């Protein structure tokens, strides 16, 4: 879960992985998530899309956008759910740098319903030497139906 130069793609996945603490309820089922990220000074990355099956206990918007609590703890990340607003998720994830990956700050502002979401993420990655790369992501998702059996 990181980014910058050789780690850009990994950091971008930080925005599009697991769960956090805010618990923003959405419908359980199969979801398709899409992300388009642009980083300053880095070769453009193609949009990425994936399908995720959310169980009733995992049916939270945070589960589609952020790492799991275990992943956050493993990387020393902090999650700030921001102010709660109906139909809107505003949150920040901050992960420190280590020997293999730069530190990442990812801010997301997402409008959502029970069956879809759309919004933007701002990314900043800084390695131990102080080199910083900024970027932004367009994030969206929609519920496709029940999970395949």
**Residue carrying the six token digits 């990181």:** 2
Q: Supply the mean pLDDT for the chain.
A: 83
What are the domain boundaries of the chain? 5-144
Please give the model's pTM, rounded to 2 decimal places: 0.78
| CA–CA dist 149, 138 (Å, integer) | 30
**Per-residue pLDDT averaged across 126-140, rounded?**
90
8 Å CB contact between 125 and 14: no
Residue 94, phi-psi category: left (phi > 0), alpha (psi -120 to 50), beta (remainder):
beta
Q: What is the pLDDT of residues 77-128, one digit of tens each?
A: 999 988 888 899 999 999 998 888 889 999 999 999 999 999 999 999 988 7
Closest by CA position to 119, among listed 51, 66, 58, 57: 66
């Amino acid at each position: 879960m990181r980014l910058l130069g050789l780690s850009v793609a990994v950091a971008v996945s930080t925005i599009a992985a697991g769960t956090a603490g805010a618990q923003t309820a959405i419908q359980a089922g199969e979801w398709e998530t899409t992300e388009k990220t642009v980083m300053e000074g880095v070769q453009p990355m193609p949009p990425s899309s994936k399908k995720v099956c959310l169980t009733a206990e995992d049916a939270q918007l945070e589960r589609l956008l952020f790492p799991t609590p275990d992943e956050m703890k493993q990387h020393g990340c902090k999650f700030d759910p921001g102010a709660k607003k109906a139909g809107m998720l505003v949150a920040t994830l901050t992960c420190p740098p280590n020997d293999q990956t730069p530190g990442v700050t990812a801010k997301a502002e997402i409008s959502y319903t029970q069956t879809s979401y759309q919004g933007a993420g701002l990314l900043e990655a800084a390695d131990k030497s102080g080199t910083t790369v900024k970027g932004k992501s367009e994030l969206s998702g929609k519920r496709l139906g029940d999970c395949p059996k």
